[in-house]
Amino acid sequence: MTTQFLRALTQSLALACISLALAGCANLEKPSDDKSAATEVSAENAQPSQTISVAKPVMAKQKIEVSSDPPADIWVRIRQGFAMPDLENDLVKDREEWYAARPDYMVRMTERSRKYLFHIVEELERRNMPTELALLPFIESAFNPEAVSSAKAAGMWQFMPATGKYFDLKQNMFRDERRGVVESTRAALDYLQKLYGMFGDWHLALAAYNWGEGSVSRALAKNKAAGLGLTYSDLNMPTETRYYVPKLQAVKNIIAQPQSFNARLPLIQNHPYFRSVSITRDIDVKLAANFAGISLDDFKALNPSMSRPVILAAGTPEILLPWDNADKFLRRLEEHANKPLASWTAWSVPKTMKIAEVGKLVNMSESELRSINPIPNGMQVKQGSTLLVARQGNLDSDVTEHLADNAQISFAPEVVLRRIMVTTLKGDTLATLAARHDVTPANIAAWNKLKIPVALKPGQSIAILVPTTASSKGSKTGTKKSSINTGVKSTPNQSNGNGSKAKTKAPIKAQKQTSKDVKASAQGSSKSP
């Protein structure tokens, strides 16, 4: 029995050694796994599907020696959730060097992220998504929720207006949720999940986030037809997209091993930075910040979607406040339960009106109205527009949900011009015609394609643009009068002020003219909204 037992034990040990050796050989094909390195998750090159499917959960591999205690700082937590395959190429090294050479820039970005990282990581973990994605705002906006690109993408996650609307981010005169911390994060993760569901690969999903899902789909189809590879690195992409994932990988590498890059990461505790607080009444932004005991800048950093000096409870029923300041705000709010909180309300314009007229109705100056709304010079507001006005008298109520969600403002030029033809008399010049019709010689020259100086001949037909509401200045008394061709119908100038013949009879809007076309002192300068 003893001999048999020893023989069996020897065989078992031999088999175990062989198994361990084979396992060791297999592990040579994969990068080592530790707490500071990213965990690789294999993903096959999936072709984009014709239909959008729900994203598959992406599980991070279990780490060795994972503590049951939650990490003390957010960076450790982010590292533990790394689950995307690493990208290794020269572009990554290039970006690593770029960031490493700019430690001050890295410090500013990471410090700015302090307010938002915990929330983003929480949402990623709740959705079972790789925590590398919490670093994406570093690439998109340097974690600046007020960032606006030249293409009009806005917010921390850089949503274009149309994409924002698709993901239910409200954009109106009172708020732009593309800038909102909670709202834009929800939309960005929804979008990334959608893209991962389409492509089955996080690198391709990120390329689509930057370049567009259609562009990535076409690039994949082109490569497939040519028998080329179907990974991110295989695609022919614009320079920005080609550097997009390498940038994220570079930041990921720096976050994973900051000491290797001489980088300093600020301590960001693994604790909520902000808390959501409900409001039921409109309240001034300054007053809300005061109640919370924080600066106006700090309040706006957590509530960047608000574009006006008042928070409308019907449209924004919750605000974000630093965790330790939320209770103070609620106490102060309770103390002012029977006191006014807002200085502003919304008012619908009953008819198309000049700003001076509006000012008389709402007891505000033109400058106040233009500043708070804002309204361009030379413009009047159209009927149905919503204006923010001072609360007083009959205008002393909170804004309704309908106005808070659907308010818009549109403009019309204060001056509508019509084209008349005048016949010059002996001795007429551009200067005398200009003085007679209250315009400038340059106006007349432009309208008639004349070069200054020009000598006018008696009997010459000249086009003049005059306000439709103004009586003709050709009847002005004097020794000389230009003759108005009453047989020619007044028609609009369709040439944007170049004097070509008109073909329709629609009135000319002043926004088609430059500020030089009509005397600003007499008619007001004309600027498009």
Q: Which residues are catalytic?
A: 140
Provide the terminal-to-terminal Cα distance of the chain, rounded to the nearest Å: 98
The SS3 assignment for 475 reads: helix
Beta partners for residue 148, in sequence order: 154
482 within 8 A of 436, measured Cβ to Cβ: yes
Cα 165 to the center of its chain, rounded Å: 11
Give the C-alpha separation, 60 to 118, whole Å.
18
Q: Which two tokens stand for residue 256?
A: 């994973």
Within 10 angstroms of residue 310's Cβ, the number of other Cβ atoms is 25
Q: Which letter does DSSP use for residue 347 in this model?
A: E
Give the C-alpha separation, 42 to 38, whole Å.
13
The SS3 assignment for 2 reads: helix
Helix and strand totals (H; E) in the chain = 20, 12
Which residues contact residue 141 at a Cβ distance below 8 angstroms, ignoring those fewer than 6 apart? 147, 155, 156, 157, 158
261 within 8 A of 300, measured Cβ to Cβ: no
Q: Which two tokens stand for residue 123?
A: 């949402």
Please choose, from the candidates 79, 86, 85, the residue with its C-alpha nearest in 3D space to the C-alpha of residue 41. Answer: 85
